[in-house]
């Protein structure tokens, strides 16, 4: 296994197995673990994705969660989802063979050749003032294997040609890119992150289907606004801001 030195400010904890790296990170955050604590597990017994969905966690893939303590509101902290997506896009683009397409998918996924290879799960706690007490960024990356029966097609780094990639290599790369983009977010705000995310986003200008808990509609993916909402243009020309939901490209509709 390649041993990558992490940038200053990261404190790595490696566990053989855990229920969920996000749950473990939340426990440690409540116990005053320092900013930059990075939990990695070789396997998870109760890995989770968005909306409580199960995240299959066999050995050989990457499961990690990062504890952050930014001095900002909960709403501002949501921008870290996009910081993380950019950092993971840049990490994987440096690993996969040339001409392999790596893209961000709203709101919290990374795709390789249009198939999901990584997911991000953000969780937080705030104080009475509405400021963040802590923020946990959970990431799962399919490296050696991927689930076959998923609503959105999945893939792995090995399947896409990055055959000798280790979890340690991906973790080290992510830490370096994340530090760079997190610093940009802190210095320049979400505007710079929004522009960088859009440059890496899949399907800008294309038709998508948006699936909400209570309805489904189609439209053209136009933009990302300053709050991180997806801007969709409907057939009648109306523009709708989507704050939550699942998005599928036209070929999967």
CA distances from 173 to 108, 176, 195, 204, 217 (A): 18, 5, 22, 26, 37
Distance, CA of 214 to CA of 13 (rounded, Å): 40
Query: Position of tokens 């489904």?
Result: 216
Report the pLDDT value the prediction gives residue 151, as an integer from 0 to 100: 83
The mean predicted confidence, pLDDT, of the chain is 92
Domains of the chain (ranges plus CATH)?
A: 11-200 (3.30.930.10), 207-252 (2.30.30.100)
Asked whether the beta carbons of 232 and 208 are under 8 A apart, the reply is yes
Average pLDDT over residues 65-92: 97
14-18, 19-23, 27-31, 53-57: which range is least confident on average? 53-57
Residue 3 has pLDDT above 50, yes or no: no
Per-residue pLDDT tens over the stretch 202-212: 999 999 999 99
Distance, CA of 208 to CA of 203 (rounded, Å): 8
Average pLDDT over residues 195-216: 94
63-72, 82-91, 144-153, 237-246: which range is least confident on average? 144-153
Asked whether the beta carbons of 152 and 102 are under 8 A apart, the reply is no
Report the pLDDT value the prediction gives residue 56, as an integer from 0 to 100: 67
Asked whether the beta carbons of 189 and 201 are under 8 A apart, the reply is no
Report the pLDDT value the prediction gives residue 252, as an integer from 0 to 100: 65
Residue 253 has pLDDT above 70, yes or no: no
Per-residue pLDDT tens over the stretch 39-69: 999 998 876 655 555 656 788 999 999 999 9
Q: Among 119, 128, 117, 70, which residue's Cα sits nearest to residue 95?
A: 117
Mapped onto helix, strand or coil, the DSSP state of residue 37 is: strand
Average pLDDT over residues 60-79: 96
Reading the block at residue 23, the tokens are: 């749950």
Q: Among 66, 76, 72, which residue's Cα sits nearest to residue 133?
A: 72
Average pLDDT over residues 19-29: 95
Asked whether the beta carbons of 110 and 117 are under 8 A apart, the reply is yes
Reading the block at residue 180, the tokens are: 């760079």
Phi, psi of 122, deg, nearest 5: -100, 130
Query: Position of tokens 């973790």?
Result: 171
Give the contacts of 174 (CB within 8 A, at least 6 positions apart). Answer: 64, 87, 88, 91, 139
Residue 4 has pLDDT above 60, yes or no: no
Report the pLDDT value the prediction gives residue 1, as an integer from 0 to 100: 38
Give the contacts of 16 (CB within 8 A, at least 6 positions apart). Answer: 41, 42, 43
State the pLDDT confidence band at 128, using cuts at 50, 70 and 90: confident
State the pLDDT confidence band at 2, using cuts at 50, 70 and 90: very low
């Amino acid at each position: 296994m390649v041993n990558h030195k992490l940038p200053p400010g990261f404190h790595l904890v490696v566990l053989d197995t855990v229920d969920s790296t996000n749950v473990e990170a939340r426990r440690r955050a409540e116990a005053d673990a320092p900013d930059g604590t990075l939990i990695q597990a070789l396997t998870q017994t109760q890995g989770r994705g968005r909306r409580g969905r199960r995240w299959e966690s066999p050995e050989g893939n990457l499961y990690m969660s990062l504890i952050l303590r930014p001095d900002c509101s909960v709403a501002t902290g949501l921008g870290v989802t996009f910081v993380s997506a950019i950092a993971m896009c840049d990490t994987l683009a440096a690993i996969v063979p040339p001409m392999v397409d790596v893209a961000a998918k709203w709101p919290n996924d990374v795709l390789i050749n249009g198939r999901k290879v990584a997911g991000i799960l953000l969780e937080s706690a705030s104080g009475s003032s509405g400021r963040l007490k802590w923020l946990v960024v959970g990431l799962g990356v399919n490296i050696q294997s991927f689930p076959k029966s998923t609503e959105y097609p999945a893939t792995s780094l090995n399947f896409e040609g990055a055959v000798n990639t280790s979890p340690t290599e991906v973790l080290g790369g992510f830490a370096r890119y994340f530090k760079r983009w997190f610093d940009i977010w802190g210095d320049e705000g979400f505007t710079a992150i929004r522009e960088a995310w859009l440059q890496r986003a899949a399907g800008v200008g294309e038709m998508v289907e948006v699936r909400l808990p209570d309805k489904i509609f189609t439209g053209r993916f136009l933009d990302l606004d300053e709050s991180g909402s997806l801007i969709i243009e409907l057939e009648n020309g109306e523009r709708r801001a989507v704050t939550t939901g699942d998005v599928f490209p036209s070929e999967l509709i």
